[in-house]
Amino acid sequence: MSSQHPASSATPSATPSASPTDGTTSLHGTVQQANQAVNYVSAHWENWVTNGIRIVFIAVVALIVRAVVVRLIDKLVDRMAHSNHHAAQNALINGLLANAERRRQRSQAMGSVLRSVTSFVILGTAAITILPVLGINLAPLLASAGVAGVAIGFGARNLVTDFLSGVFMIIEDQYGVGDQIDTGVATGTVLEVGLRVTKLRGANGEIWYIRNGEVKRIANLSQGWATANVEIPLGYHEDLDKVEKIILAATENMSQEEAWSEQLWEPVKVLGVDSLAADAMIVHVQAKVMPGKALGVGRELRRRIKEALEAADVRLGVTPQPADVPTQRTATPSDMAAPSALGDPNSSQSRATAPIPGLDDPNQK
């Protein structure tokens, strides 16, 4: 017998081993990326430096220009707020109220508007100039800004209207602090003039806040001159020439007093009979006075005219009735009473109310 020896076959196990080509490939990729970055930087660094310098230059120039313009605006505002005495006298002669607070607020408001507009224009121009340097396309931005501006304009149209109205009111000097104005919706003395609202103090002490865009008309009672009107009721028997001389003499003495000489700008005028009533005639007296002083001067004129007329034995009021004219009294329904049956002693009602004989005798018990 032949013995067979089984042949043992051994299978070698496959173990992973690092290939030398893998390390070489990764290193080569890193070097290639580094070379690309270096080439990109070397190709564009000049543009980056140039654009950076341009951006910095534009920003610095914009800030310098803005600072210079704002400084000029501040000097202009300060010059407007502190005008010299000669300008104040000319303003008073021309009928404008030379008020330091009014000039200050007006100049400050104008300065604020000018500074805001200047900053918006200069910085906006600088931003639009810088964006193309950064490679940003302005066409989509401008289109979006246009649509957004239209939407904001529709939503804030009242605010824009108030702002623009306030700007023109201040620039045109329609009114100022201390003026007494009538805006149609409220009347009072101006306390503050803003770009959006105007603050008034009413006659009863209330404060009105009026939006500038809602004001359609303005009556300024403090610019130019004012008129004091006085109406004097007189009887028909009074001599008008005598009354006119008395009034002119009384008002002339008033105009010579220091307290009233500055407020009365012209001699008082007697315009004559203004109206005729059934029992009196109205004499109209008028005086041109300083703005805002019409009420005070009118009260003083009434007092002095009354005293002067009473001293001259001129009666104020209606025409007196003659003493010999009898007054007739018209009978009223209450004066006429219905006839009573008790008034007739022979009537049955009177006999029924008569006392019974013998009941009132004190001797009977």
Q: What is the pLDDT of residues 90-127, one digit of tens each?
A: 444 444 444 566 666 667 777 777 888 888 889 888 88
- Top pLDDT among 355 and 123 is at 123
Across 330-334, average pLDDT: 53
User: pLDDT tens-digit profile of 148-162?
Assistant: 777 777 777 788 888
Residue 61 is predicted with a pLDDT of: 92
67 band by pLDDT with thresholds 50, 70 and 90: very high
Instruction: Return the ∠ at Cα 62 (arms to 59 and 65), rounded to 5°.
Output: 150
64 pLDDT more than 90: yes
Residue 11 is predicted with a pLDDT of: 43
Give the side-chain half-sphere CA count within 13 A for 210.
29
- Top pLDDT among 216 and 30 is at 216
Nearest Cα to 314, choosing from 236, 253, 249, 205?
Answer: 236
Beta partners for residue 284, in sequence order:
231, 272
Contacts of residue 191, defined as CB under 8 A and 6 or more positions apart, other chains included, come to: 177, 199, 200, 201, 207
Is-contact 57 64, C-beta < 8 A?
A: no
User: pLDDT tens-digit profile of 183-199?
Assistant: 888 888 888 888 788 89
The alpha carbon of residue 19 and the mean position of all alpha carbons in its chain are separated, in whole angstroms, by 88
Question: Going along 12-163, which residue ranges are E strands?
Answer: none
Nearest Cα to 313, choosing from 244, 238, 249, 236?
Answer: 238
Query: From CA 362, how far away is CA 273, in angstroms rounded?
Result: 82
Is-contact 201 130, C-beta < 8 A?
A: no
Q: What are the CB-based long-range contacts (under 8 Å, 24+) for 121-126?
A: 122/62, 122/65, 122/66, 122/69, 123/62, 123/66, 125/62, 126/58, 126/59, 126/61, 126/62
- Lowest-pLDDT range, 88-97, 324-333, 339-348? 88-97
Residue 324 is predicted with a pLDDT of: 44
Maximum distance among all Cα pairs of the chain, rounded to whole angstroms: 200
Query: From CA 225, how far away is CA 339, in angstroms rounded?
Result: 72
Residue 86 is predicted with a pLDDT of: 45
Distance in Å from the first CA to the final CA of the chain: 196
Query: From CA 284, how far away is CA 49, in angstroms rounded?
Result: 86
2 pLDDT more than 70: no
pTM beyond 0.95, yes or no: no
Contacts of residue 45, defined as CB under 8 A and 6 or more positions apart, other chains included, come to: none
User: pLDDT tens-digit profile of 285-302?
Assistant: 988 888 778 888 888 888
- Top pLDDT among 339 and 223 is at 223
357 pLDDT more than 70: no
170 band by pLDDT with thresholds 50, 70 and 90: confident
- Top pLDDT among 46 and 5 is at 46
